[in-house]
């Protein structure tokens, strides 16, 4: 009650905590609720200030859509192939159990219990409020470059409504002539690479050569933001309806591709390379494989971006967030494995047609989605139809993630400035417009270099730091056992042994894994490259500046909170660490002992 006065259960019991929130006048409440209800609050919503999901299915689909993104399709299959095939599933599942699900459950529980976005949940540990603002900076960078990828997908989608596909011929209509390599199997691959580099992106030679704004990519980016703005017009009330299509459609397409793929000659060859007899269990002794599994689990679940807290904050207070976390994490990881079968069945056919090993047609990341796989689709009859399905799937995969990311920004603004709740639709439009303008740099001739640079730096280091700070703040400072009691207030009391696994992970295993991954990433740091193009020193320095810009808010807010507090320096630090939690109630030794020993043994010790 002292740490989370804004939790719905506290409000229902009319708990008022001096110093954290001043009780508003009844007329002000009615005015605020009445104004907000017009835009995003239903009459039957439990939380009449912020609103709730219209149904449980909308929440689950939004969470699945947010967690399942482009990385499930273009990164996991390549990692599995490169890291020992089926053997990679062992470290992948272990990392899911020890790091992925515990962090996912923590964020969902925290968002649901407080009914607040990432900036205000830190009332429990005021000194760490900067962590919330770091999340907002992270998610802004994500929106900028991620929606540019959706813009690229929209361009390819529109280009696919032609027969033959524009990357099948020699582009004489564009003013370029074909170049053929002696071996025939390299010709088609060169064509799409040529189309992607020279026609779609009009790519310059390096990030230093900005060039001009590519007008048709700018229009596609604008269209992507218009779709997002319209879908987010009424917040979760409107986006919750859109996800019925955007979250389900990718599974329909993946299933269609898998059915078509396994019927093609050479499909078995591709699947064998993915997860079959090519599995190499000796690679499990390589620490790099475990690091890849940890980072893939961590990033594919979208933890530490603030989106999970935001989406969960619109749940009803007694929603079973535990089962939700298990369901979403399981679906996310199953999707990655399923997508791998789909991708490699088609690539196997491509390798068969060109009489080359599968390893010669496999690429990672952007290259898999926008070069290798479209090339493989050229080998199929009615190639335009398959290309349309594929790029439309990429669009829908990306949109779900953008919905949650924009919602994170707008929700945080509304939590900080409640007057904005009645202007939710304007806030969504203005946010999308600003993010569109910030993304213009990514649709210049050097745009793809900027997309790759942001993805390499911002989507890596800062996320690990945020996750570590989350565990330190909520488990080690606020108190893991206290947090468990908060969760039980929502989902009901559990037996002591139910929490053994969660305590072990939250207190010890997950922090250690995150710190090890962070240190290993620093030690093994390699400057980014796009293809064979290396980044200049100033670009690498700029990438580190992006990371610093995101995480600098953590020490800034900590210093401000300490300076503003009253009393001696030591008292200031303690006060801002523990908020209004009674200091005598918090003992780290007691919490750690309760992790190790069952209750009956603790009683005996006493």
Query: Per the annotation, does 431 bind a ligand?
Result: no
Range of the domain at 104: 8-605
404 in a known ligand binding site:
no
Query: Is residue 400 annotated as involved in ligand binding?
Result: yes
Question: Is 1 inside any structural domain?
Answer: no
What value does the mean pLDDT take over residues 512-528? 88
In a domain, 203, yes or no: yes
Residue 3 lies in a domain: no
Distances (CA, A) of 419 to 116, 428, 432: 15, 14, 19
pLDDT at residue number 24: 40
Q: Is 68 annotated as a binding residue?
A: yes
Q: Determine the pLDDT at residue 578.
A: 59
pLDDT digits 0-9 by tens, 10-37: 555 543 333 333 334 444 444 444 444 5
Residue 90, Cα to own-chain centre: how many angstroms? 23
- The pLDDT of 168-192, averaged and rounded, is 49
* Predicted confidence band of residue 145 (pLDDT cuts 50, 70, 90): very high
Quote the pLDDT of residue 577: 63
Residue 261 lies in a domain: yes
Read off the pLDDT of residues 315-352 as tens digits, 9 standing for 90 and up.
Answer: 999 999 999 999 999 999 999 999 989 988 888 888 88
**325: in domain:** yes
Q: Are 211 and 444 in contact (CB under 8 A)?
A: yes
31-66 confidence digits (pLDDT tens): 444 444 555 677 778 888 888 999 999 999 999 999
Could you tell me which of 358, 362, 340, 363 has the C-alpha nearest to residue 348?
A: 358
Q: Spell 136-147 as b/e; 16+ CB within 10 A means b.
A: bbbbbbbbbbbb
DSSP-derived 3-state class of residue 534: strand
102 within a domain of the structure (yes/no): yes
Instruction: State yes or no: 380 annotated in a binding site.
Output: no
pTM above 0.75, yes or no: yes
3-state percent breakdown (helix, strand, coil) of the chain, nearest 5: 70, 0, 25
Helix axis angle, 129-159 to 447-457, nearest 10°: 140
Residue 153 within a domain: yes
65 is annotated as contributing to ligand binding: yes
Q: Is residue 2 part of a domain?
A: no
Question: How many angstroms separate the CA atoms of 293 and 278, rounded?
Answer: 18
Known binder of ligand: residue 72?
A: yes
Q: Tell me: is residue 238 an annotated ligand-binding position.
A: no
Instruction: Name the percent of the chain lying above pLDDT 70.
Output: 80
If we measure between CA atoms, which residue out of 416, 405, 426, 431 comes closest to residue 311? Answer: 405
Between 224 and 286, the more confident residue is 224
Backbone φ/ψ region at 22: left (φ over 0), alpha (ψ -120 to 50), beta:
beta
Element (H, E) at 541: helix 537-551
Phi and psi torsions of 220, nearest 5°: -65, -40
Strand residue runs (E) in 521-594: 529-530, 533-534
Q: Domain total for the chain? A: 1
401 labelled as ligand-binding?
A: yes
- The mean pLDDT of the chain is 82
Cα of 426 vs its chain's centroid, Å: 25
Q: Supply 100's token pair.
A: 């992925």
Cα–Cα distance, 435 to 580 (Å, whole number) = 37
């Amino acid at each position: 009650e002292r740490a989370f006065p804004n939790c719905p259960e506290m409000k229902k019991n009319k708990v008022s905590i001096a110093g954290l929130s001043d009780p508003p006048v009844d007329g002000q409440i009615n005015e605020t609720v009445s104004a907000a209800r017009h835009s995003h609050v239903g009459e039957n919503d439990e939380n009449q200030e912020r609103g709730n999901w219209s149904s449980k299915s909308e929440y689950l689909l939004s969470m699945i859509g947010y967690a399942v993104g482009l990385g499930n399709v273009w990164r996991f299959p390549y990692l599995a192939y490169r890291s020992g095939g089926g053997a990679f599933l062992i470290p992948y599942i272990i990392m899911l159990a020890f790091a992925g699900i515990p962090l996912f459950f923590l964020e969902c529980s925290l968002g649901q219990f407080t009914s607040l976005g990432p900036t205000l949940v830190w009332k429990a540990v005021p000194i760490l409020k900067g962590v919330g603002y770091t999340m907002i900076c992270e998610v802004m960078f994500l929106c900028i470059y991620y929606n540019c990828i959706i813009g690229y997908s929209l361009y390819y989608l529109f280009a696919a409504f032609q027969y033959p596909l524009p990357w099948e011929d020699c582009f004489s209509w564009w003013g370029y002539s074909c170049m053929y390599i002696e071996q025939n199997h390299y010709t088609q691959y060169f064509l799409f690479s040529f189309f992607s580099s020279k026609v779609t992106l009009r790519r310059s030679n390096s990030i230093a050569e900005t060039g001009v704004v590519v007008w048709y990519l700018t229009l596609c980016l604008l269209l992507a933001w218009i779709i997002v703005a319209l879908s987010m017009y009424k917040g979760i009330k409107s986006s919750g309806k859109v996800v019925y299509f955007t979250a389900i459609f990718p599974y329909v397409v993946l299933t269609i591709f898998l059915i078509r793929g396994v019927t093609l000659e050479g499909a078995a060859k591709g699947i064998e390379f993915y997860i079959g007899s090519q599995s190499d269990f000796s690679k499990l002794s390589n620490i790099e494989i475990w690091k890849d599994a940890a980072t893939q689990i961590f990033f594919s679940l979208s933890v530490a971006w603030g989106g999970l807290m935001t989406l969960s904050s619109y749940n009803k207070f007694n929603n079973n967030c535990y089962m939700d976390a298990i369901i979403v994490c399981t679906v996310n990881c199953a999707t990655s494995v399923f997508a791998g079968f789909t991708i490699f069945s088609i690539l196997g056919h491509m390798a068969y047609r060109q009489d080359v090993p599968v390893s010669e047609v496999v690429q990672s990341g952007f290259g898999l989605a926008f070069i290798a796989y479209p090339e493989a689709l050229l080998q199929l009859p009615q190639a335009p139809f398959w290309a349309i399905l594929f790029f439309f799937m990429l669009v829908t995969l990306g949109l779900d993630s953008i919905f949650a990311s924009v919602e994170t920004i707008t929700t945080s603004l509304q939590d900080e400035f409640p007057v904005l709740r009645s202007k939710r639709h304007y806030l969504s439009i203005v946010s999308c417009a600003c993010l569109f303008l910030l993304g213009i740099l990514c649709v210049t001739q050097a745009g793809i270099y900027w997309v790759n640079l942001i993805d390499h730096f911002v989507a890596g280091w800062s996320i690990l730091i945020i996750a570590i700070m989350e565990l330190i703040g909520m488990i080690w400072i606020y108190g893991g056992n206290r947090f468990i009691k908060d969760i039980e207030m929502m989902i009901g009391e559990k037996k002591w042994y139910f929490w053994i696994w969660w305590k072990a992970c939250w207190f010890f295993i997950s922090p250690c894994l995150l710190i090890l991954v962070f240190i290993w990433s620093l030690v093994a740091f390699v400057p980014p490259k796009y293809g064979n193009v290396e980044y200049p020193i100033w670009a690498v320095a700029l990438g580190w500046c992006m990371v610093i810009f995101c995480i600098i808010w953590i020490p800034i807010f900590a210093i401000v909170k300490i300076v503003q507090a009253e009393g001696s320096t030591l008292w200031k630090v303690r006060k801002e660490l523990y908020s209004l939690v009674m200091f005598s109630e918090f003992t780290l030794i007691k919490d750690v002992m309760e992790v190790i020993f069952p209750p009956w043994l603790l009683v005996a010790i006493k």
